[in-house]
Structure 1
């Protein structure tokens, strides 16, 4: 039986890691990964070509590509808008996760969870659509994220935290227990969220 086709939007480090895991670890083998879409690079990886740029996505969809994984982690708010537009275009968003790190976790569509991420407790975490949980991230019980949230490497989110749509925690940032983080917030590397952070709030790196 022919598998549904899958492309990855973004041929940078994250996209290449996905290609490696697909080829060598069996990630997302319910789809046939056929290549990348990228606006800056024309170079493929491990035999998977760059099939075009973002302007070619309608053509690829009409040509039978059903599924897409979107990285583009440098601009989380823009990335979330792109995901929503691609969904309107008819693309589907499979989630990529390790079977070892998501027991009892409610995972939305288009979520990417790095295999080294850790979910503590007995579950109860809700990870919203199009979110990314990066390498060595720790997420304690009861954490709930909105859509398009990005947790970068080594971030630690303590129990009972809620994070709004489009917010990003950069590397080694920490969020204290039971804190509410609003939408489109930015927490800089090593930043610490100790109390309520309103929509569009920012936490700077400590000096």
Structure 2
């Protein structure tokens, strides 16, 4: 049985994925909602209510359903103080190849493809029709937007956001917390904390340490 942390647009999709996979969703936790229900399910309280919820249910799994990578990481760090178990949401109409690792809290959406010998870190989002080819390494808190493609042996650092329909050619590396614009084609390595757009992708913003 699952509880979703965050009640917004992304959580609607995750709820549907879990139900399609035969799981029960108990409801949502969200610090910013005053309603008692969302998307047909109860809002169970705020993050501070986690201990009471854990005590009342023995077999809960949690998923952070926040689309923004940095906010999702911040929430994961906050939740480290609680003895909770993170689950995964894998849509039954996705394809997962042989020897694929999917980390805790990650979400695999409908028609996504993850091919053989690929590593997906924790709290990632592999969106609808995204493709992660063989031998890729995708670190935690990465988001592959719809129809984005990582070809073979690509490495994506923590927190990278790949825009819709972006494509990374084989063997390239994208450094942590970079942003690849929608429709961009990456043909060379992208350093950490960069924003790259276009085809071929060119860096339009680079930060040495990720500070804004």
The TM-score with structure 1 as length reference comes to 0.83
The structure-2 alpha-carbon separation of the partners of 1:179 and 1:92, relative to structure 1 and needing over 3 Å to count, comes to: same
Q: Deviations over 1:80-119 (max 9, x none)?
A: 2321331441111111113551121111111110121013
Cα separation, 1, equivalents of 2:80 and 2:90: 20
Cα separation, 1, equivalents of 2:169 and 2:192: 17
Cα separation, 2, equivalents of 1:21 and 1:127: 18
Corresponding position of 2:134: 141
From 16, 36, 39, the equivalent of 2:28 is 36
1:79 has 2:72 as partner: yes
Q: Deviations over 1:39-63 (max 9, x none)?
A: 44434123x1112233433443454
1:49 has 2:42 as partner: yes
Alignment: residue pair count: 195
Q: Gaps (5+ residues) in structure 1? A: none
From 96, 108, 133, the equivalent of 1:113 is 108
Cα separation, 2, equivalents of 1:108 and 1:142: 16
Give the structure with the larger strand fraction: 2
Cα separation, 2, equivalents of 1:87 and 1:60: 16
3-state DSSP class of the match of 2:193?
A: coil
3-state DSSP class of the match of 2:63?
A: strand
Q: Gaps (5+ residues) in structure 2? A: 202-212
3-state DSSP class of the match of 1:89?
A: coil
Corresponding position of 1:60: 53
3-state DSSP class of the match of 2:50?
A: helix
Cα separation, 1, equivalents of 2:55 and 2:184: 44
